[in-house]
Amino acid sequence: GENVEQHPSTLSVQEGDSAVIKCTYSDSASNYFPWYKQELGKRPQLIIDIRSNVGEKKDQRIAVTLNKTAKHFSLHITETQPEDSAVYFCAASRDYSSASKIIFGSGTRLSIRP
Amino acid sequence: NAGVTQTPKFQVLKTGQSMTLQCAQDMNHEYMSWYRQDPGMGLRLIHYSVGAGITDQGEVPNGYNVSRSTTEDFPLRLLSAAPSQTSVYFCASRLTSGGVTGNTIYFGEGSWLTVV
């Protein structure tokens, strides 16, 4: 069945440095890849997403890259700040399809050191 | 719009008891789903539905039942609770019919369930 693997499970970076989280997916028909941020005790919320017809997408300090051939995608956070500390989840799904279940990775706990 | 509403927020059950977690959305979303979140295990899909009258199993469906009689509601039933079902449960919904925001997944606030 479909699977999404996410690495690393924990990540600690110095404030101001960059953080990179990587995911791989197994369903070659997946064409939509969102990233969610979950702060402690709260619900996950979308921070950025990418579709398979795009190789990279940026939104201020956050960027996502996609390699369809290798079936992996990554989240890049630059100039990290204390408020970036949270758990981040990647996900994969088929777009606009009846088989549109969304499978999440196991999460990465990001800590920003002052 | 209230978005995705889950009840109850906290529940303690005894082993063998049954209960239903309620989920409702007022965004006319076709897709609704239930996830459970355990430490280090991420969000695992329990069941999902792509429309009224249609449900399907996710990654961890055993011990749970669902039904989708209306577009708005997607309850999750635990027929005989077990300690292994202690978890945080999230209901989530999204459109499946396209559009700029059609793929955004909206989560409820979560339900903390403890089975003793």
Burial of A81 (0-12, 13-18, 19+ CB in 10 A): exposed
Cis before A8 (ω within 30)? yes
Q: How far is CA B34 from the centre of its chain?
A: 3
Report the side by side order of strands in the sheet with B19-25: B4-7, B19-25, B76-78, B64-66
Q: In this model, does residue A100 exceed pLDDT 80?
A: no
Looking at residue B98, its pLDDT comes to 56
Measured CA distances, B112 to A45, A49, A52, B36, B109 (Å):
18, 28, 35, 10, 10
B20/A54: higher pLDDT: B20
- Three-state DSSP class for B18? coil
Residue A30, chain B, CB below 8 Å: the answer is no
Would you state the torsion angle of the CA atoms of residues A102, B19, A38, A106, taken in this order, to the nearest 10 degrees? Answer: -50
Among the partner residues B42, B45, B94, nearest to A107 by beta-carbon distance: B42
Query: B47: which 2 tokens?
Result: 């069941």
**Kind and range of the H or E run holding A37:** strand A32-38
Among the residue ranges A7-11, A31-35, A59-63, B112-116, the one predicted with the least confidence is A31-35
Looking at residue A54, its pLDDT comes to 83
Mean pLDDT in residue range A36-53:
92
Looking at residue B97, its pLDDT comes to 61
pLDDT band at B104 (very low <50, low <70, confident <90, very high): confident
What is the tens place of the pLDDT at every residue in B26-68?
A: 998 888 999 999 977 789 999 999 889 999 999 999 999 999 9
Among the partner residues A43, A105, A107, nearest to B107 by beta-carbon distance: A43
Among the partner residues A9, A100, A101, nearest to B40 by beta-carbon distance: A9
Give the Cα separation of B92 and A31 in Å (integer). Answer: 19
Tell me how many helices (H) and strands (E) chain B has.
Answer: 0, 11
B65 contacts: CB under 8 Å, gap ≥ 6: B47, B76, B77, B79
Q: In this model, does residue A14 exceed pLDDT 60?
A: yes
Q: In this model, does residue A71 exceed pLDDT 60?
A: yes
Q: Mean pLDDT, chain B, as a whole number?
A: 91
Q: Mean pLDDT, chain A, as a whole number?
A: 92
Residue B109, chain A, CB below 8 Å: the answer is yes
Q: For the CA atoms of chain A, what is the radius of gyration?
A: 14
Looking at residue A97, its pLDDT comes to 56
Using the beta-carbon criterion (under 8 Å), do A103 and B41 form an inter-chain contact?
Answer: no
Interface of B with A in 89-108 (CB under 8 A): 90, 92, 94, 96-98, 102-105, 107-108
Among the residue ranges A2-6, A43-47, B100-104, the one predicted with the least confidence is B100-104
Residue A96, chain B, CB below 8 Å: the answer is yes
∠ at Cα B3 (A2, B76), nearest 5°? Answer: 55
Q: In this model, does residue B100 exceed pLDDT 70?
A: no
Mean pLDDT in residue range B61-83:
96
Cis before A44 (ω within 30)? no
